Amino acid sequence: MAAGDLIEFGKLLGAGLAMGLGAIGPGIGIGLLGAGAMQAIGRNPEAAGQIQTNMILGIVFAEAVAIYALVTALILKFV
């Protein structure tokens, strides 16, 4: 096994781990956000609009972390 192959293997492994571990946190967070919002709307239906707005904002911030992980994985793979 040549040194170049080992480096390529490390880059691909790092990219896979970065994306896999970087996406699991936001996935769990978005699920918890959705569950919490549904419970809140069930308890207070009149506030559904405000709850939904805040939920979408929270989802956007959680998804930004997954996008950073994707960018890191792409950098590891191609650079």
| pLDDT tens readout for residues 32-78 | 999 999 999 999 999 999 999 999 999 999 999 999 999 999 999 99
Q: Of the candidates 71, 72, 79, 31, which has an alpha carbon nearest to the alpha carbon of residue 55?
A: 31
- Are 16 and 70 contacting, i.e. CB atoms less than 8 angstroms apart? no
All structural domains of the chain? 13-78 (1.20.20.10)
Whether pLDDT at 21 is above 80: yes
Burial label for 56, CB within 10 Å (0-12, 13-18, 19+), is exposed
Task: For residue 1, give the DSSP letter.
Answer: -
Res. 4 pLDDT band, cuts 50 70 90: confident
Res. 24 pLDDT band, cuts 50 70 90: very high
C-alpha 44/C-alpha 52 separation (Å) is 12
Determine the pLDDT at residue 79: 86
